[in-house]
Amino acid sequence: MAQRHTTRPDDSGTLSKGEIFEVLRNQRRRYVLQYLKQDSRPVELGDLAQQVAAWEYETTPERVTPEQRKRVYTTLQQTHLPKMDQSGILLFDSDNGVIEATERTQDLSIYLEIVPGHEFAWRELYLSLGAISCALVAALWLEIYPLTMFSNLTWTGIIAVTVTTTAAVHIYHERNMRLGHGDQPPELSYGSDD
């Protein structure tokens, strides 16, 4: 690849979580990564700007206005892509307007899982399930009616099925929220406060 916009201090080292989050705290940069995850080939800045603008303005690439595209193109070229290149998250050839994924691009999915604002946190659900299970066990130990209408084995089965089903739903949900899973960023499917 030709000259890059910036030079990296250390291509061999790994980024700290703080560095990764600093680069990825911006929605437009997350959209860039979403696009690169969909197609691992080098991409033209113009094509990238067209798709990112479509996501930002919640339209199709064909309906993006020249002004919308230019706004996105300019900030990608001058700000976002150089910053991502400097971190080694992607390669940006500013002379030719070509962007290419790196190994670090592929490694960032775990940092981009999103908990949508309209959804409760999974850890709170698991904590609630644990508290309810403990209360149920205590009530069964004290032989409180009407819980004694079912055997302890039945209650154990109910608890096991509930926890297993919840964990399966959580895993399914988490996989759907990963970067590069669908045609559009997860933020567009579930909303974002950015």
The first and second tokens of residue 62, run together, are 């064909």
Whole-number percent of the chain with pLDDT over 70: 76
DSSP collapsed to 3 states, 78-133: HHHHHHHHHCCCEEEECCCCEEEECHHHHHHHHHCCCCCCCCCCHHHHHHHHHHHH
Helix (H, G, I), strand (E, B) or coil at 191: coil
Q: Residue 104's closest CA among 39, 25, 7, 12?
A: 12
Segment 103-147, tens digit of pLDDT: 887 777 556 554 444 455 677 888 889 999 999 889 888 988 888
DSSP assignment, residue 15? P
Segment 167-179, tens digit of pLDDT: 888 888 777 655 5
Are the CB atoms for 99 and 45 separated by under 8 Å? Answer: yes
Give the pTM.
Answer: 0.56
